[in-house]
Structure 1
Amino acid sequence: MTTETSPTVEIVEVAPRDGLQNEQVHVSTAVKAELVRQALAAGLRRMEVTSFVNPQRVPQMADAEALMQDVRTYPGLTAIGLAMNRRGFDRAVAAGCDEVNMVVVASESLSRRNQGMATADSIAIIREVAAAAREVGTPISVTIAASFGCPFEGEVPEGRVLAILEEVLPLAPLEIAFADTIGCGVPSQVGSLVRQARALAPGMRLRCHFHNTRNTGLANVAAAVEAGARTIDASLGGTGGCPFAPGATGNVATEDVAWMLHRMGISTGVDLEEAVETAKWLSDALGKPMAGGVAKAGLFPKEAALGGCVAVA
């Protein structure tokens, strides 16, 4: 069990959005709603449910409003909608999202491919959205994508990411997330960026989003948490990928992240047995193998299934 000094890390479940957006086979609204329901049963309360983007560019998200209609009354759910512009924000608010996650891409090349605009233009849109968010009372978070590298430009300097952070801080977002969009980050980068961000914004909630493209995802989670991040994005079964970033594969698996953190003495509130069963169900629904390790290998020790922590001597 946790001690009084043990930190708590919140896992934001992103399988319904980031986990499914790159699937080539159509996923029905009913399957997505069932995924949200099962994730809630596993203790995952805060969820990126869908994205309000152009359905011609991301067809899997064409049912955003219909899905929100199905899940918005689920008890205990904090539903996050992702948006790229003011229209997307307005749609998310109208659909009943509790939060809206806005995205700015740290590299110019990926920004133009992913959002069709320069990084500076994205920041200008977020400024406009932040003002609208205050008026309607819907909080926004800001994700800085490609924080650790770009598929077209290579290295993304830490200073550039921190400069973007400084530009969005005055907008008072609920949270700022650093995303390793293509899974190229390593623990030393992650630890450095999170520590620098905490120094620049000591009161800001920091979140990290990792893809496991090069098998550094879990190590990066550990580095982020040790550096002070207290929210981690993850996807049941390790599903996911970015349609506009060549070679990007799945997110870190929720069940793997929760298992590791529990073994480190850190509480997440996730019921591991339920999470593993949901990962298996999602694998069957998608007709593809799971990317995570815990669901394949099984829980160790069995006490980890209780959703708390294993005491480590």
Structure 2
Amino acid sequence: MTLPSRVKLVDVGPRDGLQNEKQAVPATVKIELVHRLQAAGLKEIEVTSFVSPKWVPQMADNAEVMAGIQRQAGVRYSVLTPNMQGYQAAVHSKPDEIVVFAAASEAFSQKNINCSIEESIQRFAPVVEAARAAGIYVRGAMSCVVGCPYEGEVAPLQVGRLAQLMKSIGVQHVGVADTIGVGTPLKVKAAMEATLQHYDVNDVSGHFHDTYGQALSNTLASLELGVWQFDTSVAGLGGCPYAKGATGNVATEDVVYMLHGMGIDTGIDLDKLVDAGAFISDFLQRKSGSRVATAILNKRLG
């Protein structure tokens, strides 16, 4: 078994992490967070989403945030675009990548976006086509790959079917997401293997929530399959509005600490990353969701 020697992390904190925050987070704070993440060495950052402010008021400042970022060469800035309207609004802000999403669970799709999986894919087809014609990279997020709050267990067969549908409309890369954090290593491996039947290992990433404390184990299980790209969230920000009690994405700091301890390169400066997490946690007036950040900050206090 050979583990990847290098891993790329996509920090989804500014978008996935902050979207459900009840208190308003000003654009200036979001921009500062992006700047701190890129200063820490992150090469891909999911910045915002172009969704209706009626549904996600926290992201109403999407264009302002994108315009305010001092872009760095070699960093990819991605945005979520749920439909053609969102894509058309996003294009003006010149994202390097757009993200479309669909669920592996029929029930989740109905509850989340009021349509079937097939319908959601048809809805994205013109978005994918337009983005690729404009030279914008397209990433697909596949949610609920091991479990759904409404349907329970999700079979690997359903995950494979969704990956195939994503491939059929031209999605270039897919993220295998355990949205409610119920996955354990063998289940996550099965979902990954189902995806790898349709996508090359270089075009697949893992996205694990830490609801049951399994995210690092699930990351390791994916690394063992050769997967070398993962979504993480600084300070463990985020949750899922459709999954009661689902905690945030796995903390970027925790994944970086684990990878560095395994001799796997990330290009990320852990101390600067901890500072970025402390910055946003201080603003939100709560403790970081990262165990590693907590340990390092306590150690600094001596």
Same fold by TM-score greater than 0.5: yes
Could you tell me how far apart the structure 1 residues matched to 2:291 and 2:83 are? 36
For 2:286, the equivalent position in structure 1 comes to 288
Q: Is the 8 A contact 2:15 2:47 kept in 1?
A: yes
Shift of 1:126: 2.1
Q: Is the 8 A contact 2:239 2:246 kept in 1?
A: yes
Large movers: runs of 4+ above 4 Å: none
How high is the TM-score relative to the length of structure 1? 0.90
Shift of 1:155: 0.8
Q: Is the 8 A contact 1:178 1:208 kept in 2?
A: yes
Could you tell me how far apart the structure 1 residues matched to 2:232 and 2:3 are? 24
Query: Which structure 2 residues correspond to residues 42-121 of structure 1 after superposition, within 5 A?
Result: 42-71=40-69, 73-121=71-119
Shift of 1:226: 1.3
Quick one: structure 1 residues 219 and 66, their matched pair in 2 at CA, closer, same or farther if it must change by over 3 Å? same
For 1:253, the equivalent position in structure 2 comes to 251
User: Any stretches of 5+ residues in structure 1 without a counterpart?
Assistant: 303-313
For 2:30, the equivalent position in structure 1 comes to 32
For 2:188, the equivalent position in structure 1 comes to 190
Shift of 1:203: 5.9
Shift of 1:79: 0.7
Could you tell me how far apart the structure 2 residues matched to 1:130 and 1:72 are? 27
For 2:9, the equivalent position in structure 1 comes to 11
Give the secondary structure class of the aligned counterpart of 1:103.
strand
Could you tell me how far apart the structure 1 residues matched to 2:251 and 2:201 are? 28
User: Any stretches of 5+ residues in structure 2 without a counterpart?
Assistant: none
Could you tell me how far apart the structure 2 residues matched to 1:17 and 1:228 are? 27
Q: Is the 8 A contact 2:185 2:218 kept in 1?
A: yes
Query: Which structure 2 residues correspond to residues 104-143 of structure 1 after superposition, within 5 A?
Result: 104-143=102-141
Deviates more, 1:277-286 or 1:197-206: 197-206
Deviations 1:119-146 (A, max 9, x none): 1111112222222122211111111111
For 2:164, the equivalent position in structure 1 comes to 166
Could you tell me how far apart the structure 1 residues matched to 2:65 and 2:210 are? 27
Aligned AA (1:71): I
Match of 2:230 among 221, 229, 232: 232
For 1:202, the equivalent position in structure 2 comes to 200
Give the secondary structure class of the aligned counterpart of 2:224.
helix
Query: Which structure 2 residues correspond to residues 266-305 of structure 1 after superposition, within 5 A?
Result: 266-298=264-296
Shift of 1:68: 0.6
Give the secondary structure class of the aligned counterpart of 1:298.
helix
Q: Is the 8 A contact 2:176 2:207 kept in 1?
A: yes
Give the secondary structure class of the aligned counterpart of 2:6.
coil
Deviates more, 1:151-160 or 1:74-83: 74-83
Q: Is the 8 A contact 1:100 1:141 kept in 2?
A: yes
Aligned AA (1:10): K
Could you tell me how far apart the structure 1 residues matched to 2:30 and 2:12 are? 11
Aligned AA (2:66): M
Give the secondary structure class of the aligned counterpart of 1:95.
coil
Root-mean-square deviation (CA, aligned residues, Å) is 2.0
Deviations 1:5-33 (A, max 9, x none): 85211000011001101111110000000
Count of residues in correspondence between the two structures? 298
Q: Is the 8 A contact 1:72 1:79 kept in 2?
A: no
Q: Is the 8 A contact 1:21 1:243 kept in 2?
A: no
Deviations 1:123-172 (A, max 9, x none): 11222222212221111111111111111111111101101111221333
Aligned AA (1:279): G
For 1:41, the equivalent position in structure 2 comes to 39
How high is the TM-score relative to the length of structure 2? 0.93
Q: Is the 8 A contact 1:240 1:251 kept in 2?
A: yes
Give the secondary structure class of the aligned counterpart of 1:37.
helix
Shift of 1:55: 0.9
